[in-house]
Amino acid sequence: MPKKSNPAQSISRAEWLIVVASCAAASITAILWSWQHGAMLNYGDAVAHLHIARRVFDAHQPRLTELGSVWLPLPHVLLIPFVQIYSWWASGFAGVIPSALAYLAACAGIYRLVRHWLAAAPSALALAFFALNPNLLYLQTTAMTEPLFVCEMVWVVVWLVEWRACLESDSKKLRRTQCWIVLVLIAAIFTRYDGWIMAFVAWTCMGLTLARRGRLRSLNFWFASILLAAAPIMWFIYNSVGFGDWLYFVRGPYSAKAIEIRTSVLGFPPHPGWHNPWVALIFYIKAAELDAAAVAWGNMLLTVSLLGTAWAWLSARKRAFTWALLLWFPVAFYAYSVSYGSVPIFLPVWWPHSWYNLRYGMELLPAFALGLGFAAHFVLAAVFEFKPRPRNHPSQRRSSHSSSERSPSTRQECCASVRWYMSREPRLLKRADPTMSRFLLCCARCWPSGRMAWC
């Protein structure tokens, strides 16, 4: 079993510099393209976000309720300092600054997360897939909320993995990591309603983990729980005081349900997947595929990512990988939201052959990137295993036994061959390779010598 290490210590400063510089170059290139083509205000929602942030102070009666009642306030609060400059607000450049910073932080989080288990090469591949996604690069040039929430989701998972890793060893780091988790979860609660479910699931799992170890009486945990529960309660109070209904964001005239009623046609379902969780699930997964890859490669991407995630769980679940499965929670959330939450998703490839809320699939991009990283690691490890062996390798010795014989000496020679290889190739013992090592030893014990030449 590899020694558990702090990713901040295992990643060198030069490695971090390359990661940040590469992602910053991609971000700046996308910003220049978007500026040159006048694309920063293409999304109507991006324009609305900028207007909401501006009118908090630039209004006949400036007040806090100008933040509105449906969209959560944190993205608008972050925009307020930048929309005060008229040219930035009018051109949409004000939305670039917080979104681009969130994009860079998300890229750093993805790399740090993958490096908990994998070497630099597959981690770089996962980062490249995430950071060079055209849809994400465009969204980080607008005032949309997706880059910010993806950043929060990634860092919640990063710190959950580190929290679990130091649960038995470093109490000081445990408290510090728990504080970061609470802060990011509160930020996610005030960014998108997806964050409410993510916070509930993450904090419940943390509580169950502590309960299994008899540490649920921790005052720090319960104090943090109170802070976390206070976040949605504050939103209820805000709606009650500002708009006269604590659920105004759910049943007000600008809520998703009200918009669905106004736009639906009598006698027809409001949108595909309405009251049909299975169809809603398929639509969301297809939206995620279209956001992450070309149409022809969508199913392949999903398959490889799922296989990589399964391999990761088998090989690294004892090193806190199970917490990374939280990256897949948008699948269940949007399957429910599309079917029962008045949240339509229209795809260009399926009826009604349109583009609407397709960007929601961007929340699965981190899960795809992590799965691809482990799939790449598996492929590299397999290629490494099957490469030609040196002449002095024990497997090159001719055996007098036939391929059908399985004598004890043959099995011992095969086991010695594998152990020799493992001693000569220390990379086999790093990060996610213990499962591969056990697999090879099992093969050495069970297979005839004639079929073990590749060992």
Residue spans of the domains in the chain: they are: 1-144, 272-385, 388-451
Average of per-residue pLDDT across 18-29: 97
Q: What pLDDT shows up at residue 453? A: 35
Q: What pLDDT shows up at residue 337? A: 95
Percent share of the chain, pLDDT over 90: 66
Q: What CA–CA distance (Å, rounded) separates 135 from 242?
A: 36
Q: What CA–CA distance (Å, rounded) separates 68 from 76?
A: 10
Residue 138 pLDDT level (bands cut at 50, 70, 90): very high
Q: What CA–CA distance (Å, rounded) separates 358 from 334?
A: 12
pLDDT at 72 over 80: yes
Q: What CA–CA distance (Å, rounded) separates 131 from 110?
A: 9
Residue-wise pLDDT for 187-219, tens only, equals 999 999 999 999 999 999 999 999 998 888 888
Least confident of 3-7, 72-76, 100-104, 314-318: 3-7
Average of per-residue pLDDT across 147-153: 97
**Does residue 320 come out as left (phi exceeding 0), alpha (psi in the -120 to 50 range) or beta?**
left
pLDDT at 363 over 50: yes
Q: What CA–CA distance (Å, rounded) separates 295 from 280?
A: 19
Write phi, then psi, for 263 (nearest 5 degrees): -100, -10
Q: What CA–CA distance (Å, rounded) separates 60 from 287?
A: 41
pLDDT at 416 over 50: yes
Contact 181/174 with Cβ under 8 angstroms?
no
Average of per-residue pLDDT across 361-385: 91
Q: What pLDDT shows up at residue 390? A: 63
Contact 312/117 with Cβ under 8 angstroms?
yes
Kindly tell me the burial class for residue 15, based on how many C-beta atoms sit within 10 Å of its own C-beta (0-12, 13-18, 19 or more).
Answer: middle
Model-level pTM?
0.84
Residue 318 pLDDT level (bands cut at 50, 70, 90): confident
pLDDT at 430 over 50: no
pLDDT at 403 over 70: no
Percent share of the chain, pLDDT over 70: 83
Between 188 and 399, name the one with better pLDDT. 188
Largest CA distance in the chain: 95
Residue 319 pLDDT level (bands cut at 50, 70, 90): confident
pLDDT at 92 over 60: yes
The length of the chain, given as a count of residues: 455
Between 9 and 218, name the one with better pLDDT. 218
Average of per-residue pLDDT across 107-112: 97
Give the type of residue at 370: L
Between 193 and 314, name the one with better pLDDT. 193
pLDDT at 134 over 90: yes
Between 239 and 416, name the one with better pLDDT. 239
pLDDT at 420 over 80: no
Q: What pLDDT shows up at residue 201? A: 96
Q: What pLDDT shows up at residue 231? A: 96
Contact 53/80 with Cβ under 8 angstroms?
yes
pLDDT at 389 over 90: no
Q: What pLDDT shows up at residue 394? A: 54
Q: What CA–CA distance (Å, rounded) separates 249 from 245?
A: 9
Between 9 and 128, name the one with better pLDDT. 128
Q: What pLDDT shows up at residue 315? A: 84
Q: What CA–CA distance (Å, rounded) separates 132 from 35?
A: 18
Q: What pLDDT shows up at residue 224? A: 94
Residue 61 pLDDT level (bands cut at 50, 70, 90): confident
Write phi, then psi, for 356 (nearest 5 degrees): -155, 125
CB atoms within 10 A of CB 263: 10
Average of per-residue pLDDT across 34-44: 95
Q: What pLDDT shows up at residue 263? A: 82
Top mean-pLDDT range of 161-175, 325-339, 368-382, 395-409: 325-339
3-class DSSP state of 278:
helix
pLDDT at 398 over 60: no
Which H helix or E strand runs over 189? Answer: helix 171-189
Q: What pLDDT shows up at residue 2? A: 40
Long-range CB pairs of 391-396 (<8 Å, 24+ gap) are 393/417, 393/420, 393/421, 394/420, 395/452, 395/453, 395/454, 395/455, 396/453
